[in-house]
Structure 1
Amino acid sequence: MSTPLYWIHGAQTPFALGQFVCVGRNYADHAKELGNTVPEAPILFMKPPTAYQPLRRAEVSTVVVPSSGGACHHELELALLIGRPLGPELIQHIPKDKPDALLATIAGVGLALDLTRRDVQDQLKAKGHPWERAKAFAGSCPLTEFVPTSQAGDLKRLRFRLVRNAQLQQEGHVGSMIFSIAELLREIASVFRLQPGDVVLTGTPAGVGPLEHGDALDLELTTSDFNVFGWQALVQSRSHFG
């Protein structure tokens, strides 16, 4: 089987599937709704390539969620496709007051659903255990095609939202992030070496909740010049992802 490729606006890119670096609690309203404190530094965790589920603009896609293990919540997030290597040896030469050099490593922007087994996560957190069983299971990251940064405009002005069964569930604005995109890239690259094909999930705004079999989802990404990119999906509950 060939290696899956990410897509940019309807065409395959040269970026093979990489790792997902995820950011927790990057919107104050989301931290509040779950009773969590606002972090002083980005909270980072990982998802493996097996977390990937594709969402395509040209069709109504399927979002598969596990049928066991309790509630599986949607967490809509802005996703960044890394197009150039970024690691500790590079960021030390990029001044903090010149974020454009960091933003230039982004090849495209899209949307992702950070699927979370909330009941499992709560149990793990209560025991002080890692979150992987709740966050990094197979298929835990439905991901759209990417919009090239050349079409996205000012990344600080991107907006996104999730509509579930014709009801607005989540709405986010990059300007409301606790840590900006540049700050996230600097922090992540100081810990993990980012390579082309890696994806950064930047955190979710308030409004997370459980997905049910048959739910109809509409995901929208609005650029700084008000171009809207949309994706549709139906939720299926399954015991496995094969």
Structure 2
Amino acid sequence: MSASGAVDDVIAPPRTPRLPVRGGGAFPVRRVYCVGRNFADHAREMGATAPAAKADRGTPVFFLKPADALVLDGVVTYPPGTQDLHHEVELVVALGRDVDGAVAADDAQALVFGYGIGLDLTRRDLQAAAKAKGLPWDTGKSFDQSAPVSELVRAGTVGAIASRTLSLAVNGELRQQSRLDQLIWDVPEILHELSLLYALRAGDLVFMGTPAGVGPLVPGDAFLARLDDLVALEGRIAPPRHRD
């Protein structure tokens, strides 16, 4: 403890990831929420039943990634422990306001600071093995460099997000594409559902789920994710680090 009474850190404090914001400034990230099975075609692709009507949706599936899993320069080192790394392109929503308690879906849009695009990288073999045993699948989702993400654009410059198209090309080949009006749970609905479970804060990111077409990435692959002409994320998969 210092002479002033403050407690001294015994290690250097971790750095807070900061996303660039178009037009200037940086967005410090507090927490990264992710939504599973939020496109009907991807739910079916993964062997799940997609809701036939809005009333049949049930509740969303959520999981988290650590904030230090974010990749800001697009370069992802192929992760250890897997032979089946998959891409999942997603809309990323950045929150700019705190809320305590539940927020109504009609009011939730006011929490949104801006939008970006990202990849929810998945060690599919580890996820599948955990699912088969009824175990949590954190190792399949929440690993180092599992969340490449673009710069953010302010919500006020975007307009209606549902009319935008999400896409991902790998080595120039289109792999995933969908309009955002195909989301099972839209942005305000997801923020409402999250607020029933967590205290949402400025600095939170929400990865909104991926459409069909997920597939493998290998070292040397180059990817280009787009949200129309609004924002893009370009990157590549680097060789794994050698471990003795």
Band of TM-score, shorter chain? 0.7 to 0.9
Distance (whole Å) between structure 1 residues aligned to residue 226 and residue 160 of structure 2: 17
Equivalent position of 1:165 in the other structure: 171
Question: Normalising to structure 1: TM-score of the pair?
Answer: 0.87
Q: Is the 8 A contact 2:117 2:233 kept in 1?
A: no
Q: Is the 8 A contact 1:162 1:168 kept in 2?
A: yes
Letter in 2 for 1:27: F
- State yes or no: 1:214 paired with 2:232: no
Equivalent position of 1:29 in the other structure: 41
Q: Is the 8 A contact 2:150 2:231 kept in 1?
A: no
List runs of 5+ in structure 2 lacking aligned partners.
1-13, 51-56
Distance (whole Å) between structure 2 residues aligned to residue 16 and residue 7 of structure 1: 9
Q: Is the 8 A contact 1:6 1:197 kept in 2?
A: no
Distance (whole Å) between structure 2 residues aligned to residue 131 and residue 12 of structure 1: 35
- State yes or no: 1:48 paired with 2:60: no
Q: Is the 8 A contact 1:5 1:17 kept in 2?
A: yes
Letter in 2 for 1:234: R
- Aligned partner (choices 141, 145, 156) of residue 150 of structure 1: 156
Q: Is the 8 A contact 1:68 1:239 kept in 2?
A: no
SS of the equivalent of 2:219 reads coil
Shift of 1:185: 0.5
Shift of 1:2: 4.3
Shift of 1:54: 0.7
Residues 67-118 of structure 1 deviation map (CA, whole Å, 9 limit, x = unaligned): 54220100000000010012425x1xx4x5xx2x211111110111001000
Matches within 5 A, 1:156-235: 156-222=162-228, 227-235=229-237
Shift of 1:17: 1.9
SS of the equivalent of 1:104 reads helix
Question: Normalising to structure 2: TM-score of the pair?
Answer: 0.86
State how many pairs are aligned.
Answer: 224
Q: Is the 8 A contact 1:70 1:120 kept in 2?
A: no
Distance (whole Å) between structure 2 residues aligned to residue 210 and residue 231 of structure 1: 18
Distance (whole Å) between structure 1 residues aligned to residue 63 and residue 184 of structure 2: 17
* Identity of matched residues, %: 36
Pick closer, same or farther for the CA change 1:174–1:86 going to 2, 3 Å: farther
Letter in 1 for 2:238: Q
Distance (whole Å) between structure 2 residues aligned to residue 162 and residue 211 of structure 1: 12
SS of the equivalent of 2:206 reads strand
Residues 2-40 of structure 1 deviation map (CA, whole Å, 9 limit, x = unaligned): 433122126332x32211111000001001111112352
Shift of 1:64: 2.5
Equivalent position of 1:63 in the other structure: 76
Distance (whole Å) between structure 2 residues aligned to residue 41 and residue 104 of structure 1: 22
Distance (whole Å) between structure 1 residues aligned to residue 208 and residue 88 of structure 2: 11
**How much is the aligned-residue C-alpha RMSD, in angstroms?**
1.9
SS of the equivalent of 1:238 reads coil
Distance (whole Å) between structure 2 residues aligned to residue 64 and residue 10 of structure 1: 29
Equivalent position of 2:29 in the other structure: 17
Instruction: Determine which structure has the larger strand proportion and give its number.
Output: 1
List runs of 5+ in structure 1 lacking aligned partners.
56-60
Distance (whole Å) between structure 1 residues aligned to residue 239 and residue 46 of structure 2: 24
- State yes or no: 1:141 paired with 2:147: yes
Residues 127-182 of structure 1 deviation map (CA, whole Å, 9 limit, x = unaligned): 11111111001111111111111111112212211011111001122100111111
